[in-house]
Amino acid sequence: MLLQDWVGPAPNLTLTGEVIEQVDKSCYLGSYISPGGHITDEMSARIQKARLAVANLRHLWPRRDIRLSVKGRVYAAIVRPVLLTGAETWPLRKQDKD
């Protein structure tokens, strides 16, 4: 349970007699959700996943028998979508852009 802009003591939410845990952030469908709409965690996770995608293709990058244009298409098809998934909906702040 995420509480955004909550004033006062945090309420206890129960479901079938079991208390629901309160968290500072959560991951839903691969995207991190933080109170206040901050996307710093989401951006960091996306960058880390894109680095992993590049690392998984490390056998491809040094090969001379594969044209640079093909490598660019692989990057555009595999790495860029990993990095930019959901970016259209990110509420960027000035601090996030820097």
**Mean pLDDT for all residues in the chain:** 84
| C-beta separation of 90 from 42 below 8 A | yes
Residue with tokens 């293709």: 57
Convert the pLDDT of each residue in 2-13 to its tens digit. Answer: 556 666 677 787
Q: How far is CA 4 from the centre of its chain?
A: 20
**Predicted pLDDT of residue 53:** 96
In three-state secondary structure terms, 26 is: strand
Taken as a whole, the chain contains a residue count of 98
Convert the pLDDT of each residue in 59-78 to its tens digit. Answer: 999 999 999 999 999 999 99
* pTM to 2 decimal places: 0.67
| C-beta separation of 46 from 82 below 8 A | yes
